[in-house]
Structure 1
Amino acid sequence: MSFSSEMPDDFAVDIRHLVIESICSVSLNAHLGLLGEQRDNKDIQKVVSALQDVVELGFQLDMMPAFWKYLPMPNFKRLMRSLDIITDFCYFHIENALKRIEEDAKAGKLNEIGLEKSLLEKLARFDRQTAVIIAMDLLFAGADPTLVSLAGILLSLSKSPDKQARLLEEIREILPNKDSPLTMENMNNLPYLRACIKEGIRMYPIGPGTLRRMPHDVVLSGYRVIAGTDVGNAANYQMANMEQFVPKVREFIPERWLRDESNANAHLVGDTATPFMYLPFGFGPRACAGKRIVDMMLEIAIARLVRNFQIGFDYPIENAFKAKFFVQPNIPFKFKFVERSD
């Protein structure tokens, strides 16, 4: 019997849980059970709420006029409590992970299967505080933004059955069966999947751009910008969503990013476009540290969902997100998943 179901109004919660579960698996060697038995665990929900508070309150207190420096503000105390919750959570799981690693090493399990030391183990043995900071950074910067990216790509695919069919054809090449394993080797050549992800993030950027503090004096468009000045780059949102740079700008066309079809699809990216037009993860030394983790999460999640289900969405998506510091969901993500027969 095939499965067919429309997701409930709070499906965004499960998408967020998927993202947090994935980040914790990589950064904390921890399985939280957010998609199963621990979905409603009160202690874990405190952490999830704290992550949302940090994003929202961090914007209010850091980007807006800093009245909290001079006046007592409840939001500042709430932000500090949220940061304490997340810090304690990270320390707890790092200590547990290191104990497991040490026990496995003593039992010879790591040597038996030839595993190298994990990123967490390397960081924590060198400096536990650094390990906590990296884990917190991945959680802060990864949870809600990755939710938006994943939901935006799924919405785009659901409204473009022809693109979804082409993506399924590519995925079936590496996943002939629904339970076929995903490996680093068979995921090396998935150009259309990566084009779908790139186009989805272009159409639904997570924020207005990036902000960097100049380490030295520079000249930008004839203006001298002195060291220490904060410079904003709005390319993520502005340039990637302007008709002059991206023709048919509000159409989901992954083909515009395929190199092997560059001649046929040259008209899909404007003549004025440059590689710096699309920088959702920044560039250079201050590029997003979690880019590869986000790429991996999106690729695995979309590949598995498209291989197993036909994805639909029977509602308008024009106002799917609302703009705050990070873009946030604005409608119920009531996706319809119909299980594929083969």
Structure 2
Amino acid sequence: MWSLYKDYGSIVKVGGLVGHPDLLFVFNGDDIQRVFRQEEVLPHRPSMPSLHYYKQQLQKDFFEGNEGVIGIHGVKWDQFRKQVQQVLLPPATAKKYIEPLNVIATDFLDRMEAMRDENQELPENFLSEIYKWALESVARVALDRRLGCLDPNLASDSESQKIIDSINVFFWNVAEVELKMPVWRVYKNKSFKKYIGALENFRTVCMKYITETMENMEHKNYDNIKEEDISIVERILQKTGNPKLAAVLALDLLLVGVDTTSIALASTIYQLTQNPAAQDKLYNELRAVMPTKESKVDVEVQENIPFLKACIKETLRMYPVIIGNGRSLQKDAVISGYNVPKGTHVIFPHLVVSNIEDYFTQPKSFMPERWLRNASCPHSQDGGVNQQKIHPFVSLPFGYGRRSCLGRRFAEAELHILLAKVFRKYKVEYNYGQLSYKITPTYVPEQPLKFKLVERHE
């Protein structure tokens, strides 16, 4: 994408891709905004054809009428989203999960402490450990269950370990299935079979726990239960009476909520290790709202940590977990003066657009202040430089419009809570040079995340 932009400019057509349609890359923020603003009632996002195949063909009998929101388009997507968005999207819904997410974050912080070596550094496989935290957090929201993924002594044949193994198998093989030549369309190779096997494990687990919840609901008197004590799963089952719908929603949230949140967390920690002044500023902010290193991150704390939120935004600008968004045009359009026909796959390469000087002052510098109102950004030499007004469509880590992330509020809460706990208690270092990133298809660090945790003494 960088080469396309540097060699050809702000709009580039790429054709002749084996197994894929022609692509139109758009690097201009105004054009991106124009396409999104003209979005149809049923926006079509070109993504995950293998997951679409799994839902619409391999397991059609299970998913028919409950197709979900990932890898699905059109009327089926619209019908499903309408049934779940009223439960998921209100801010109050995410707030009721702050307490259980605090418990999970505390458990993971204990695990981090236990994992440190004699140099106070975390192990080389720490990203895999972060995946377990994210998996436990997503499952607590989507399945109303603790899976036990943070238990340091899991038996190899336990259900929790099998779930962990499945999430790893899925992420290890999704790049092979989705990004390379789609040979699975004619030959079901080893990667595809592992990928489908992982999906089947998730589907089975989700259906098992949703069925258990539905059975338990029969013995509850909801007239005597407060609204904030009714889970998402229960609310959806009350609203629809459909356990398959709840299970498919949980499946979709697991598929898109584990690696994305994990990588966002890892990248934010890394950025703060490379910018000690920002880390000190964050520590001072956290001390003001969290009296002790063991303080909970409650609703009030979350409403008073603007610098932490800015650090996350700046990280996702520089290293977006999803490097691009896109739409398959459902009608003819004019983009940068070109007539673009219906059916064209338009790609918005946010990794590039959010890292060029057209839209960000010193784009290679980590400057969280650019996201704060009435704040100047630190300059490595001059002491301060004003960031121009940020274009609203050049950094969209959670997407935009009707196809934006349904789990955004939960993902943000997970990040706020764990990052606040980590940086309130520790000064974090990374002493192994600059991280490089690869596409998997998320944008993930390649090197081991051997962060060093130095406990702060007040």
Aligned ranges for residues 190-205 of structure 1 at < 5 Å?
Answer: 190-205=305-320
Which TM-score applies when normalising by structure 1? Answer: 0.88
Secondary structure of 1:85 counterpart: helix
Q: Which residue of 1 aligns with 2:425?
A: 308
1:252 aligns with 2:369: no
Aligned ranges for residues 152-191 of structure 1 at < 5 Å?
Answer: 152-191=267-306
1:275 aligns with 2:404: no
Instruction: Give the partner amino acid of 2:352.
Output: Q
- Of 118, 121, 124 in structure 1, the residue corresponding to residue 234 of structure 2 is 121
Instruction: Give the partner amino acid of 1:241.
Output: N
Q: Which residue of 2 aligns with 1:133?
A: 248
Contact 2:370 2:377 in 1 (8 A): no
Partner deviation per Cα, 1:159-180 (whole Å, 9 max, x = no partner): 2221111111111222112222
Secondary structure of 1:244 counterpart: coil
* Shift in Å, 1:258: 0.7
* Shift in Å, 1:142: 1.5
CA RMSD of aligned residues (A): 2.6
Segments of structure 2 that go 5 or more residues without pairing to the other structure are: 1-112, 114-118
Instruction: Give the partner amino acid of 2:233.
Output: L
Instruction: Give the partner amino acid of 1:67.
Output: V
Counterpart Cα distance in 1 of 2:434 and 2:144? 36
Q: Which residue of 1 aligns with 2:343?
A: 228
Segments of structure 1 that go 5 or more residues without pairing to the other structure are: none
Percent identical pairs in the alignment equals 30
Cα distance, 1:224–1:50 mapped onto 2, change above 3 Å? farther
* Shift in Å, 1:28: 0.7
Partner deviation per Cα, 1:237-284 (whole Å, 9 max, x = no partner): 00111233223222211111111315999945457x511111111111
Which TM-score applies when normalising by structure 2? Answer: 0.67
Secondary structure of 2:299 counterpart: coil
Counterpart Cα distance in 1 of 2:272 and 2:129? 19
Counterpart Cα distance in 2 of 1:215 and 1:122? 34
Counterpart Cα distance in 2 of 1:311 and 1:65? 41
Give the total of aligned pairs.
334
Counterpart Cα distance in 2 of 1:245 and 1:82? 40
Q: Which residue of 1 aligns with 2:48?
A: none
Counterpart Cα distance in 2 of 1:114 and 1:324? 40
- Of 184, 187, 191 in structure 2, the residue corresponding to residue 68 of structure 1 is 184
Q: Which residue of 1 aligns with 2:263?
A: 148
